[in-house]
Copies of this chain bind each other. A is one copy, B any other.
């Protein structure tokens, strides 16, 4: 008898009929002889509606209250799923994050899981229950409700799977798996049967927003295989796990893109220690992610510093960067908010010459100008103009022959 953890996202539980559909899928897993723990997100647009309500009340709703408010969405869907399972003749109990033992720190709205106390879940499983856990939430040391941030239900699911020693964590969503590129953009994109954790992390950060990064990291850390599949079909999906074999290496797995990038350049920055820290520390405190940092070679101890942020963070970032840039002696800040990122992802890429060259040539052949380049062990990213992103993804998909059967 295997123990499996399933997670269903907001679009999979958007209304009563969809919840009944999920219940049938959960029941099937149980009937096949498994112990089943299910993590659910809030129904459809519930979370957005609660956020809107909060901002009708106050422009600055307190973090603590905000988290309690948002946590109710997942509690509602978890009880409804338990009822639907009851209706199918299955024993099911819903648990809040607190009841399921998801202990977090006190960083409201972006709490980190400190530990999972599985006692209650295990005892309910032993009594033959299917256990439904409200995702996205936990409880702090003060017994206050916390939420894990966007995508937190994925993290809840993988954390539970790791703590319970589950055989697999199945993330059911509205896409059929991980593709070699966004299928909306590249109809001939292929679904991957499997992908390594590290590659998946690069794909997720760089645009393939199917599963939350923290969940993948956690899966990697605790070696939990994660299946990503559709809740609306029986298509097999993609398994994220440790690379299965040598042959998988040295290959481009997929093309990721992100069409909402903004670039900030500080011109004429004195090149001495501490300047970068002075600029980036306030941004980190404000929780603004910096994606790509490029510092040109310095001439006469003066350099230019360029980095990218999500377009939605640009105004906030500039309000922090401009005064700091001035105080460290920078000449000018310029921005460009019409950019996009396109990346090729695959293990062992940097050890294999030729990938970067092939990427740059493909873009060049399509007349796409590269503004910035950034690389990691398993990824090469180019910043290009937003209006060429579709062309770029298509060009790279062809250049690396990803439409071919593997």
Contact = CB atoms under 8 A, between A and B. Distances in A.
Interface of A: 16, 19-20, 50, 53-54, 56-62, 64-66, 68-69, 71-72, 75-76, 78-80, 82-84, 86-87, 93-94, 96, 99, 143-145
B80 A62 contact: no
A158 B390 CA distance: 64
Nearest to A61: B83
11 contacts: A54-B79, A54-B80, A54-B83, A57-B84, A61-B83, A65-B93, A65-B94, A66-B79, A68-B96, A69-B76, A72-B75
A83 B57 contact: yes
A71 B83 CA distance: 15
A84 B78 CA distance: 28
Contacts of A94: 65, 68
A357 B210 CA distance: 78
B86 A79 contact: no
Nearest to A64: B93
A72 B76 contact: yes
A85 B71 CA distance: 20
Contact of A79 (B19, B65, B99): B65
A149 to B, nearest CB: 18
B99 A143 contact: yes
B62 A82 contact: yes
B87 A79 contact: no
B53 A80 contact: yes
Given A57-B83, A59-B87, A65-B94, 14 more contacts: A16-B57, A53-B76, A54-B79, A54-B83, A57-B80, A58-B86, A60-B87, A61-B86, A62-B82, A65-B79, A68-B78, A68-B79, A68-B96, A69-B76
The secondary structure that dominates the A interface is helix
Nearest to A20: B57
B87 A58 contact: yes
A282 to B, nearest CB: 25
Given A76-B50, A99-B143, A83 B68 contact: no
B76 A58 contact: no
A82 B60 contact: no
Contact of A16 (B50, B56, B59, B82): B56
Contacts of A72: 72, 75-76
Contacts of A83: 54, 57-58, 61-62, 65-66, 69
Contacts of A69: 75-76, 79-80, 83
Contacts of A80: 53-54, 57, 65, 69
Contacts of A54: 79-80, 83
Nearest to A69: B79
A75 B65 CA distance: 10
Given A80-B57, A99-B143, A65 B86 contact: yes
